[in-house]
Amino acid sequence: MSTQGRYTTEPAEWSWEVPAQGAARFTWEYDDGRDRLLALYQKGKDKQWDGMRRIDWDLEVDPYDPLGTPDEAMSLYGSRYWVAMNEADRALLRQHYASWQFSQFLHGEQGAMVCAARIVESVPDLDAKFYSATQTMDEARHAEIYGRFLHEKIGMLYPIDDNLQSLLGDTLRDSRWDMPYLGMQVLIEGLALAAFGMIRDTTDKPLPKQILAYVMQDEARHVAFGRMALRDYYKQLSDAELREREEFVIEGCYLMRNRLRGLEVLENFGIPAAEAAELTESSDFLRLFRKLLFSRIVPCVKDIGLWGPRLQQAYVDLGVLELGDSSLDLLMTQDEEIAERMDAERFAAEEQARVTEVTETVAQGAEASE
Ligand SMILES: [Fe+2]
Ligand SMILES: [Fe+2]
């Protein structure tokens, strides 16, 4: 099923080339992996799953209400545009919002796959190369699943958001090997995880709930990897080098806050750009959403040792400083448990259906032989 013709606005180009910088590194030492990283690699192998089978694609999705999003969550809610809309317009708006959101997830997953592959290439040690190879596969599966959901269930895609593309470009163009970790594993993945989590926990639609819960089960490993690798490495850096990383994080965080507006959606509904921005800024729901989006990034940044005064000041300005105290470990354990519980419930329901079917067949057999 081609994506051409499904974009709300055609992308300016059908491919995007980011020139590669830095070295591809080989090592001839095959036997001195760090235990924690190798354990994570083993877990990555053990926990591979196939979205073709694990996800119940037969579940129907209403393209005009794919997530069960409440009206209040749409930034137009309550405005004069909202009042002028009829039910059909509002249904279309819901489709566009869900499409925009999941399209950014899809493009982000492709970016994660490319960054993980870049880490395989550039990181010096074999244990990290092994681990990243499993993550590359994880991200391929995620991109496949979000792509299928958008093509088959929502039927519409949005191009990559400018801010997301810009951050992805900066992350990939940098020749220092730790930058793809910092840009992708900490910033983009951290942001995506928070957004996945909010939808997973609020949607009442079974298909997107399954997708998000299972993808998040993998993402917990990705965050763990980024933290481990960077915490070790940043202990060895000079103050000046650490400040450079902090500047990158600060800039990335502002970019991402701006990314979260989905102004393209409103512009597609004929609302002038300036007014769309104003409506979005004044939406209470969006303000809360934005703050929650940093819930995975701030504690991670603090944990890896990037916590200088300028960075703290930026987080005060963004209103998210206190999130640094929340427990990432707890959040990630919960992510894994939610997916496991969902599996258990689904298997229990299938088992029950099977038992009922057998009982009925036996009863029919008994009737027939009477
Ligand atoms: Fe992913
Ligand atoms: Fe990931």
| pLDDT tens per residue across span 148-178 | 999 999 999 999 998 889 889 988 988 888 8
Nearest to 255 by CA among 265, 247, 264: 247
Q: Is 157 helix (H, G, I), strand (E, B) or coil?
A: strand
Residue 321 in any domain: the answer is yes
Spacing, Cα 187 to ligand 1 middle (Å): 13
Residue 11 in any domain: the answer is no
Q: What is the pTM assigned to this prediction?
A: 0.92
Contact between 130 and 149 under an 8 Å Cβ cutoff? The reply is: no
Q: Which amino acid is at 154?
A: I
Residue 23 in any domain: the answer is no
Residue 217 in any domain: the answer is yes
Spacing, Cα 362 to ligand 2 middle (Å): 48
Ligand nearest the Cα atom of residue 105: 1
- For residue range 28-50, list pLDDT tens digits in order: 999 878 888 899 999 999 999 99
Query: Does the structure show a pLDDT above 90 at 144?
Result: yes
Q: Residues 75, 167, 15, CA angle at the centre, nearest 5°?
A: 95
Nearest to 303 by CA among 260, 240, 249: 249
Residue 87 in any domain: the answer is yes
Residue 107 in any domain: the answer is yes
Q: Which amino acid is at 299?
A: P
Spacing, Cα 218 to ligand 2 middle (Å): 7
Spacing, Cα 296 to ligand 2 middle (Å): 13
> How far apart, in whole angstroms, are the C-alpha atoms of residue 290 and residue 281?
11
Beta bridge partners of 157: 7
Query: Does the structure show a pLDDT above 90 at 358?
Result: no
Residue 2 in any domain: the answer is no
Query: Does the structure show a pLDDT above 90 at 263?
Result: no
Contact between 304 and 235 under an 8 Å Cβ cutoff? The reply is: no
Helix (H) or strand (E) holding 111: helix 87-122
Q: Is 361 helix (H, G, I), strand (E, B) or coil?
A: helix
Ligand nearest the Cα atom of residue 220: 2
Give the pLDDT of residue 259. Answer: 64
Task: Kindly report the CATH number assigned to the domain that includes residue 351.
Answer: 1.10.620.20
Spacing, Cα 136 to ligand 1 middle (Å): 9
Spacing, Cα 30 to ligand 1 middle (Å): 28
> How far apart, in whole angstroms, are the C-alpha atoms of residue 123 and residue 110?
20
Spacing, Cα 215 to ligand 2 middle (Å): 8
Residue 3 in any domain: the answer is no
Spacing, Cα 137 to ligand 2 middle (Å): 10
When divided into structural domains, the chain yields a total of: 1
Query: Ligand 2 being an ion, which residues bring their Cβ within 5 A of it?
Result: 112, 189, 219, 222
Domain coverage including residue 285? 35-369
Q: Does residue 369 or residue 112 have the better pLDDT?
A: 112
